[in-house]
Amino acid sequence: MTVTLGILLFDAVEELDAVGPWEVLRYAELNTEAPLRVMTIAEAAGEIACAKGLRLQAERGIAEAPQLDVLLVPGGRGSRRQVENERLLSWIAAQAEGCRWVTSVCTGARLLLAAGPARGKRITTYYGAVEELRAGGLAAEVLEGVRFVRDGKLVTSAGVSAGIDMSLWLLGQLFSPALAREVQQGIEYFPAPPYTAETEQPAA
Cβ neighbours of residue 146 under 8 Å, at least 6 residues apart?
124, 158
Question: In which region does residue 56 sit, left (phi positive, over 0), alpha (psi from -120 to 50) or beta (all else)?
Answer: beta
- Distance separating alpha carbons of residues 124 and 146, to the nearest angstrom: 7
- Distance separating alpha carbons of residues 142 and 125, to the nearest angstrom: 8
Cβ atoms within 10 Å, residue 179:
18
Task: Collapse the DSSP code of 72 into the 3-class scheme (helix H, G, I; strand E, B; otherwise coil) and give the result.
Answer: strand
Cβ neighbours of residue 80 under 8 Å, at least 6 residues apart?
107, 110
Among residues 106, 130, 160, 168, which one is catalytic? 106
Q: Is 50 labeled as catalytic in the residue annotation?
A: no
**Contact yes or no for 103/134 (Cβ under 8 A):** no
- Distance separating alpha carbons of residues 12 and 102, to the nearest angstrom: 21
**Contact yes or no for 14/75 (Cβ under 8 A):** yes
**Contact yes or no for 109/136 (Cβ under 8 A):** no
Q: Which residues are catalytic?
A: 106
